[in-house]
Amino acid sequence: MNWQMSGRILVQGLGETEVLAQVTRMKAYGTPIVAGINPIWEGKLVNEIPIYALVEEAIAQVGEIQTSLIFAHPYAVLDAALEAIAAGIRQLIVFSQEIPPLDVVRLLKIARDTQTVILGPGSGGILIPEKFYLGIWEPQFYQPGNIAILSDSSKMTYEVALSLHRVNLGESIVTSIGTDPILGTSFRDWLEFLNNNPETSAIALVTRSERIDSSTIDYINSNLNKPLIVYAYNRRKHWKNAPYILSNQFSYVKNTLKDILNESDLLLATRPSEIGELLQ
C-alpha cells in the first residue's frame, strides 16, 4: 500500500452542518481543499470552496485531485466512491459509517482493479501534526513526534496522544482505519507503511482484539522491525457481572495475544493511558 501525503483534496457530501465544521477546521489547518460536491449547492461558494454537482466537473475546473473525502449518506457512499474512481482519483477516505456490506464488497473489488486505496468506512482520517490533516479529530490535541498511533477508533487516539504527551513524546502520524466490519485497508497494510516510514520509531496499536487478523499477526511476527505496543480490548466476550468484565477482560486478551504473537518485541498495555509510560 502507498499513501501520498500531499496533493489537492475534494469533499463529497459537503452539506451537513457537522461536515461543514470539519471542513472548516481542515482548511484552517492548511489542508488544500479545492472543491466540494453537492448537487443542491451547485455553483455556490462555501467557505471559499467552489461547489459542483459532479466530480468530473470539479476536476475540469480546478485540475487534478489526489484524494476525495467522502461524507455521503451510507447508502450513497458506493455511488460517490465509484464516481471519484471513474474521474481518476486514487485515494479515498470514507468517513461515513455502517455502509451496506455488499456495497463495500463491490467497491473494494473495483478499488483493487483500479489500484485505488481506500481508508474506511468509518475512518477518523489521517493526521501528521502541524503538517498534514485529513480527518475529523480536533488537531490541537496532537503534537509532532516519532510515535505512530494506529487504531480502528478515532476517539481512542485522543487518550493515547495524551499518554504520550505526559512523557514528552509526540506523534509521527495518527491513522484510523475505520469502524465498519469490512474495510478498505487493514492494520497489516498500515503496519507495513509505518515500518517503512522514516519519521516513525515506534507504533502504538489500539483496537478490538478481533481486528488483529492472521495477516496482521504474520506481518508482526515476520516483518515488523520497530517496537510495537498493543492495547487490545475484547468486545465479543460477555459476562453478566460487570466487575468481572473490568477485572478479567485484559487478562483474557493478553493471554490470547501471547499465544499468537512473539513476545520479545511486543509490549502490551492494560489501558491506553499506560502507553506513554511503556514507550518512554
Query: 46 and 168 in one domain?
Result: no
Domain that holds residue 246: 125-279
β-pairing, 132-135 vs 125-128, is antiparallel
3-state secondary structure of 218: helix
Question: Domain for residue 66, yes or no?
Answer: yes
- Single residue among 119, 139, 154 that ends a domain in this structure: 119
Residue 240: the pLDDT is: 39
Residue 245: the pLDDT is: 37
Residue 214: the pLDDT is: 84
CB 206 within 8 Å of CB 156:
yes
Question: Domain for residue 129, yes or no?
Answer: yes
Q: Rounded to an integer, what distance in angstroms lies between the CA atom of residue 41 and that of residue 11?
A: 13
CATH number, position 114: 3.40.50.720
**What does the buried/exposed string (b/e) look like for 239-268 if buried means 16 or more CB atoms within 10 Å of the residue's CB?**
eeeeeeeeeebbeebbeebeeebeeeebbb
Question: Domain for residue 54, yes or no?
Answer: yes
Q: What is the pLDDT along the chain (280 residues), one digit of tens a residue?
A: 899 999 999 999 998 889 999 999 999 999 999 999 999 999 999 999 999 999 999 999 999 999 999 999 999 999 999 999 999 999 999 999 999 999 999 999 999 999 999 999 999 999 999 999 999 999 999 999 999 999 998 888 999 999 999 999 999 999 999 999 999 999 999 999 999 999 999 999 998 877 788 888 889 888 999 999 999 876 544 333 334 333 334 444 445 565 655 544 578 888 888 999 998 8
Residue 45: the pLDDT is: 94
Query: 248 and 161 in one domain?
Result: yes
Query: 158 and 79 in one domain?
Result: no
Query: 270 and 174 in one domain?
Result: yes
Domain count, the chain: 2
Query: 136 and 184 in one domain?
Result: yes
Question: Domain for residue 71, yes or no?
Answer: yes
Residue 244: the pLDDT is: 35
Question: Domain for residue 3, yes or no?
Answer: no
Query: 132 and 105 in one domain?
Result: no
Query: 68 and 146 in one domain?
Result: no
Query: 68 and 135 in one domain?
Result: no
Query: 133 and 33 in one domain?
Result: no
